Amino acid sequence: MKKVQKLIIPVAGLGTRFLPVTKALPKEMLPILDKPIVQYIVEEAVASGIKDIILVTGQNKRAIEDHFDYQPELEQWLKKTKKQKRLKQIRDIAKLANFIYIRQKGPYGNGTPILNAKHLISDEPFAVAWGDDVFVSKKPRIKQLIEAFDKYQSPILTGVKTDVAGTTKYGMIEGEEVEKGIVEVSRIKEKPGPKNTKSRIGSIGGYILTPDIFPELVKTPLRDNELWLTDAIARLMKKRKVFAKQVDAEYYDLGSKFGLLKANINFGLRDKEIRSPLKSFLKKNC
């Protein structure tokens, strides 16, 4: 089996939870401190050995393309003003990976952007990460998934330990633990609630998938006029084993205002420049 070297990031969503700011600015470009969300995801992928980043975009997403490109005018100004550290910082962004942009076409749902990228994947395994999930860990979350894939040679889901409240927010992974932190998945229950599942492992944050997911996506019926990747994975599970890796990582759900604010506070408390004044501010006002 070939190595995982490509990542698909769907970024075509409208970001309605963050209106009005997302009327013109992609939600993936909202900042955690001084970097946009999508850059954290790209950096994690690159640290995991990913070479190609495939961003499936839509209208009003040009800012994402511009962010990962060179900006000669800005670079000239930074060079002229001798801001060498800043100059290197923005040049390095464009060098992170090989960026590929395609437009999302087809029905709504998170399965459509994956299917749109089929022609770029060929017969390789590939990673998927969502544009509003950030993981913080010593070993990158995507690398943890890739290592599980290399061992089991089967699709790998991200598993995150959750609580009772999580059973009403996430799909819950059920199955048999084959080794510590690895579950052979029997099914995923969508937001079942605590009375309908014993599992406390949520399916959150991305996958390592194999090319045989594409025929299943083509055959998967629409649900409420949307194509769901999880439905295609459920179909695939009838034909081959699928595993979940419970990742050792701190998870930030940035699809809500509270999640984004929480991330900014926690990242700020780790930042040498603003940690002290932020602590003082929080102590005074909380």
CA 260/CA 24 separation, integer angstroms: 18
Place 174 in a pLDDT band, splitting at 50, 70 and 90.
Answer: very high
User: 1: pLDDT confidence band, cut at 50, 70 and 90?
Assistant: low
The pLDDT of residue 2 is: 83
SS3 sequence of 141-185: HHHHHHHHHHHHCCCEEEEEECCCHHHHCCEEEEEEEEECCEEEE
pLDDT the model gives residue 59: 85
**Would you kindly state where each structural domain of the chain is located, as residue ranges?**
6-255, 258-286
> How many Å apart are CA 242 and CA 263, to the nearest integer?
31
Dihedral pair phi/psi, residue 256, rounded to 5° = -135, 160
pLDDT score at 15: 87
Tell me what pLDDT residue 67 has: 95
Given this model, what pLDDT does residue 29 score? 96
pTM of the predicted model as reported, rounded to 2 decimal places: 0.93
Q: Which CATH superfamily is domain 6-255 in?
A: Spore Coat Polysaccharide Biosynthesis Protein SpsA; Chain A (3.90.550.10)
